[in-house]
Amino acid sequence: MTVTHVDPIEAAAASPAEARARYRDGLEVPTTGWATGFTQANMVMLPKEWAFDMLLFGQRNPQPVPLLDVTDPGATTTVLAPGADLRTDLPRYRVWRDGELVDEPSDVVDLWRDDLVTFFIGCSFSFESALLDAGVPVRNIEQGRNVSMYRTNRDCRSAGRLSGPLVVSMRPVPAELVVTAVQVTGRMPQVHGAPVHVGSPESLGIADLSRPDFGDAVESQPGDVPVFWACGVTPQAALMASRPPFAITHAPGYMLVTDVPDATYRLP
Amino acid sequence: MTVTHVDPIEAAAASPAEARARYRDGLEVPTTGWATGFTQANMVMLPKEWAFDMLLFGQRNPQPVPLLDVTDPGATTTVLAPGADLRTDLPRYRVWRDGELVDEPSDVVDLWRDDLVTFFIGCSFSFESALLDAGVPVRNIEQGRNVSMYRTNRDCRSAGRLSGPLVVSMRPVPAELVVTAVQVTGRMPQVHGAPVHVGSPESLGIADLSRPDFGDAVESQPGDVPVFWACGVTPQAALMASRPPFAITHAPGYMLVTDVPDATYRLP
């Protein structure tokens, strides 16, 4: 993997199409902070033979798996980002065989199959800007880290052959701003919506907040309360648990940058 | 069909389970006005081989086709109404072969197949009570008629083999209450949400409001404006246009009465 210095101001000011062109040309960086104001999306590609189960899994678990778009089999484009080629325009992919992560390439052109259906799932990056707008600090952004994510002891509703645990992201929120955080994100159901839990990691089966299952550890400040949101990595946990023969996803943090303004997913 | 006198006060006071028991025992009446305060749902049953297309049709057209639950293949129950038998507990069904309506039985026990997937779709009955609560008169209720429904000149986003026109319901709303009607229903996206159009039937390709394609003609009062909402009959129009070999639906107005309180689908 190439390490490339990217100017954060330049990244934030890039249009979604400019950001995707950079990734297509080989830039492999997390998408946080890029193309400010535009929605980023989680991605899962599965053969048509598994697509009904995945679509049903999303329908039954709308909080962790809010489906923003689902393509026709073999389509390499999405209405969320006209002009994007889904095989090349994310900065990093993950390839799964029988539920095992086998590769993290920067494109999937050679792996492409005409029976692949692509699912785009809302991402909590969209509500982080809404939290900031409402005066709620976002510690993972302050600390320049990926958000902390954890497997929980709660099962998703299964769908055919797909099942797995609810995965949550956690953000430490100052206690006096927890209500604001609930209200702001509750108005964004297509990007995970209101928190699923406030305050007690152990009731979700999380033993140690400093050891997340995905992403980075994020430090709480004095007076912060841990707040948990349903997380778009949940489908990846379902792939690991349910072991379909073949799947492609985005790499965590390396999302599709869409042309859809974040405000589209805010209810009045 | 048996004509049975039902006391409207008794019908309104019935629990959802009591209402379903009456229909199961053979009562064939429209469900409007029954089990006040509980959600009623449109229903489509399709063989598994068509289920992915239907599920995708709902994902791509959430305003006319808001999916409240989708069953496993062969399941005769739904989380929306524990204890209900989906083959018997609606008062009237429609049977479709190759896109043609061939029968309207009061149960589908003899037609049941183990590959049928059942889709439940939100219904505008749920927002009519919210409109009344907000002081917006609902003319079809005042006039004791089924709501007026029309095919429009707008196409739904197609999904695999399924395509068809957007179907809308129309309610005449006093001009000074149109904003209230938009705001009230806009907070209920799972039961069709905000109107798709206000004021101009011709821009939707509707030539004559007095001749609806489904349901009854409803009379406007002086000062009323026609307001159009996406309608759960849209999937039936897609079945007629796309001609799957076999399908079962509810008969328009003869819905599944669920155990879910209407308030569940109201956003704060």
- Phi then psi for A186, rounded to 5 degrees? -60, -25
B59 touches chain A (CB under 8 A): yes
Stretch B205-224: mean pLDDT = 95
* Residue environment code for B94-116, b if the CB has 16+ CB neighbours within 10 A, otherwise e: bbbeeeeeeeeebbbeeeeeeeb
At CA A138, angle to CA A133 and CA A144, rounded to 5?
120
Q: What is the pLDDT of residues A23-73, one digit of tens each?
A: 999 999 989 889 989 999 999 999 999 999 999 999 999 999 999 999 999
Q: What is the pLDDT of residue B1?
A: 44
Kindly tell me if the per-residue pLDDT of A266 is higher than 90.
no
Q: How far are the Cα atoms of A63, A223, B90, B225 from residue A197, in angstroms, in the given order?
A: 12, 17, 37, 44
B247 strand-pairing partners = B96
Q: What is the pLDDT of residues A216-247, one digit of tens each?
A: 999 999 999 999 999 999 999 999 999 999 99
A176 touches chain B (CB under 8 A): no
Lowest mean pLDDT among A201-205, A239-243, A262-266, B114-118: A262-266
- Phi then psi for B259, rounded to 5 degrees? -90, 5
Kindly tell me if the per-residue pLDDT of A2 is higher than 50.
no
Binning pLDDT at 50, 70 and 90, where does residue B252 land?
confident
Average of per-residue pLDDT values in chain A: 94
Question: Where are the CATH 3.40.1640.10 domain residues in chain B?
Answer: 18-123+244-262
To the nearest whole Å, the CA of A75 is away from the closest chain B CA by 12
Mutation target to probe the A interface, by most A beta carbons within 10 A, among B44, B48, B52 is: B52
Binning pLDDT at 50, 70 and 90, where does residue A149 land?
very high
% of residues, chain B, pLDDT over 90: 83
Binning pLDDT at 50, 70 and 90, where does residue A5 land?
low
Mutation target to probe the B interface, by most B beta carbons within 10 A, among A55, A185, A190, A266 is: A55
Residues of chain B neighbouring A67 (CB-CB closer than 8 A): 59
B112 touches chain A (CB under 8 A): no
Question: Of the candidates A27, A28, A24, A31, which has an alpha carbon nearest to the alpha carbon of residue A8?
Answer: A31
Binning pLDDT at 50, 70 and 90, where does residue A146 land?
confident
ipTM for this prediction: 0.81
CB atoms under 10 Å from CB of A200, counted, come to 11
* CATH code given to domain B18-123+244-262: 3.40.1640.10
A67 touches chain B (CB under 8 A): yes
How many C-alpha atoms does A80 have within 13 Å on its Cβ side?
30
Structure tokens at A246: 């073949």
- Chain B residue closest to A74 (CA)? B160
Q: What is the pLDDT of residues B153-169, one digit of tens each?
A: 999 999 999 999 999 99
Binning pLDDT at 50, 70 and 90, where does residue B2 land?
very low
Residues of chain B neighbouring A52 (CB-CB closer than 8 A): 48, 51-52, 55
- Non-local (6+) Cβ contacts of B208 within 8 A are none
Helix, strand, or coil here: B188?
A: coil
Q: What is the pLDDT of residue B267?
A: 79
Question: Of the candidates B51, B83, B86, which has an alpha carbon nearest to the alpha carbon of residue B67?
Answer: B51
Instruction: Report the run of H or E that residue A237 belongs to, with start and end.
Output: helix A234-242
A74 touches chain B (CB under 8 A): no
Binning pLDDT at 50, 70 and 90, where does residue B4 land?
low
B222 touches chain A (CB under 8 A): no
- Chain A residue closest to B53 (CA)? A52
CATH match of A125-234 with 3.30.2040.10: yes
- Chain A residue closest to B183 (CA)? A268
% of residues, chain A, pLDDT over 90: 83
Provide the CA A259 distance to its chain's centre, in angstroms. Answer: 16
Write A81-87 long-range contacts (CB < 8 A, 24+): A81/A16, A81/A20, A81/A256, A81/A257, A81/A258, A81/A259, A81/A260, A82/A259, A83/A17, A83/A20, A84/A17, A84/A20, A84/A256, A85/A24, A86/A43, A86/A45, A86/A118, A86/A256, A87/A112
* Helical packing angle, A125-133 and A178-186, nearest 10°: 130
Residues A204 and A152 sit within 8 Å (Cβ to Cβ): yes
Binning pLDDT at 50, 70 and 90, where does residue A267 land?
confident
Higher pLDDT, A127 or A108: A108
Residues A198 and A171 sit within 8 Å (Cβ to Cβ): no
B160 touches chain A (CB under 8 A): yes
* Contact: B59, A60; criterion CB under 8 Å: no
B58 touches chain A (CB under 8 A): yes
Q: What is the pLDDT of residue A4?
A: 60
This prediction's pTM:
0.88
Instruction: Report the run of H or E that residue A102 belongs to, with start and end.
Output: strand A100-103
Residues B242 and B162 sit within 8 Å (Cβ to Cβ): yes
Question: Where are the CATH 3.30.2040.10 domain residues in chain B?
Answer: 125-234
A72 touches chain B (CB under 8 A): yes
* Helical packing angle, B48-60 and B234-242, nearest 10°: 130
Farthest CA pair distance, chain A = 52
